[in-house]
Structure 1
């Protein structure tokens, strides 16, 4: 049997906690930038293409999308430890027209652009999830150290005016600190799971397309080679 695509395109994603955390937290600002660039450039380019003014704008959008795809593959490799093979077809030698035709007809170019658009909603969900788990866990773990310094000399849940739970001493805060340790353990698991899931998403969107994956997984006479 020939090698599987995971073997050809790198190991299965098993990112570390710190790498996943850094990656997931930066997805939101990068998603905002990528979404804004793609929507703005393609909208402006298509709306003015009829008078030729939009063609350079569309060309810039294509180049930015491909450059962002390269950056993202490198970022996934550095932070999530996941290799993603370059999916682009080789540019033909010769004139500028042929090279641009190859870029535009390459499906990888449009997957790069689509990824930049999708990174915004995905980045929002990942950011909110990660920040919620880590902030709640850290707040509970450190509650014994700061609960008496809060307004009123205690921690009130859900608020100062509605006091369902009152923690007014470090001793009373210890059970909540223990709960915080459990939340942090869950935060580690969730962070690594999200990092792994996003690495697989990047591989699917920014790696070689379905045809290349089928070729990689097909049996060959030489198992170490892929057509």
Structure 2
């Protein structure tokens, strides 16, 4: 309480000086840059003025943090451009540039009013508390009632002390309220606004799109490689075996062994194709939903897997597909790399989010930037979701994916 009140008082009092500096600087750059704008020095002058203005605004964000508890985040976007003209355009098109200037101008009346009020209220209250120490030195025989008995008599002076102590909570409340109101006003102008959010969101979506395209290309290459090296090779071998058997039949040579071999090769090819289809999109996921597909994964897993969630709950197809592959990769990693013996898979749903959580009892130490987990992250981010991994050395590992639906 005392600390927050002292911080609010320091903020309000220092705003008098900060407001004066901000007003003088604002007028100087408006006039100076305005006059230089018709010359070749206009661009560099504008960039230099913007740099200093941003430093002053950063100081204001830090000062507001005395009251808010944390400094206001900077709203600036990176300045790009090879020429002065391009850099001037990059700075001038950022709303934060002009909001900084608006706050430096508005700070003067706000800081002057708040600072003077804070000084007067604080001085009057503290003076009343210590009235017995000084009131005797300023006698005033013409003081009106009730100031005359309060200032000129000992009981009156101690009465002022009692009154001042009783008003200390009110004074502290006023200082905190006034300081918070001014800091909130600063936050409105100096905090990151919708422009920065939209730019950052656009950049994030562009990066996510590139990652999704890369992931899809890698998936297509994997499917092509599996078809070429797996099922296709087995089918070709079966065809060659059948051709060999066909050549033996007219000569009366035994071809039964070749036919049996061809049949086994075709069976292996069919198994490989089914495995590949399950890797692309398992049919059970479409037919019976995510819970049933995960239960099938759990049955094939060497781990003891417990599946929690509503078996009858269905989700959008894209969400089910992404969640399925997150779980499949998580179970594979738990058994292959973490030496886990058991795993709990939880499927939870809120109004707008599906949360998939895998918790194993393995040794931990998973690398969140590894290729397998990075592929999962791309798949989740493609749906504007978020993948988090907690895997301290010694375990346990918790893999969580939040998918909007």
Question: How high is the TM-score relative to the length of structure 2?
Answer: 0.45
Aligned: 1:105 with 2:89: no
Is 2:57 aligned against 1:73? Answer: no
- 1:33 aligned partner: 21
Per the TM alignment, residue 83 of structure 1 is displaced from its structure 2 partner at its CA by: 3.4
RMSD, aligned CA: 2.9
- On the 8 A contact 1:23/1:80 being kept in 2, the answer is no
**172, 175, 186: which one aligns with 1:188:** 172
Are the aligned partners of 1:111 and 1:206 in contact in 2 as well (CA < 8 Å)?
A: yes
Q: Residues 3-152 of structure 1: matches in 2 within 5 Å? A: 16-78=4-66, 80-92=68-80, 94-150=82-138
Contact kept, 8 Å, 1:42 with 1:58, in 2: the verdict is no
Deviation at 1:213, TM superposition (A): 6.9
Alpha-carbon distance in 1 for matches of 2:63, 2:386: 30
SS in 2 for 1:50: coil
Q: Distance in 2 between the 1:181 and 1:213 partners? A: 48
Aligned counterparts of 2:44 and 2:196: Cα–Cα separation in 1: 31
Q: 5+ unaligned residues in a row in structure 2: which ranges?
A: 202-351, 354-383, 388-401
Q: Is residue 122–residue 171 contact of structure 2 (8 Å, CA) maintained in 1?
A: yes
Q: Quote how far apart the aligned CAs of 1:222 are.
A: 4.6
Which runs of at least 4 in structure 1 moved beyond 6 Å after TM superposition?
A: 213-216
What CA distance in whole angstroms lies between the structure 1 residues aligned with 2:92 and 2:167? 47
Distance 1:140 1:37, change over 3 A: same
Structure with the higher fraction of residues in strand conformation: 2
SS in structure 1 at match of 2:38: helix
Separation of aligned partners in 2, 1:141 and 1:42: 47
Paired with 1:213 and 1:90, the residues of 2 have a C-alpha distance of 13
Report how far residue 24 of structure 1 moved. 1.0
CA distance 1:77–1:112, change in 2 (3 Å): same
> Which SS does the other structure have where 1:108 is aligned?
helix
Larger radius of gyration: 2
Residues 19 and 104, structure 2, Cα contact 8 Å, conserved in 1: yes
Greater mean alpha carbon deviation, residues 125-134 or residues 177-186: 177-186
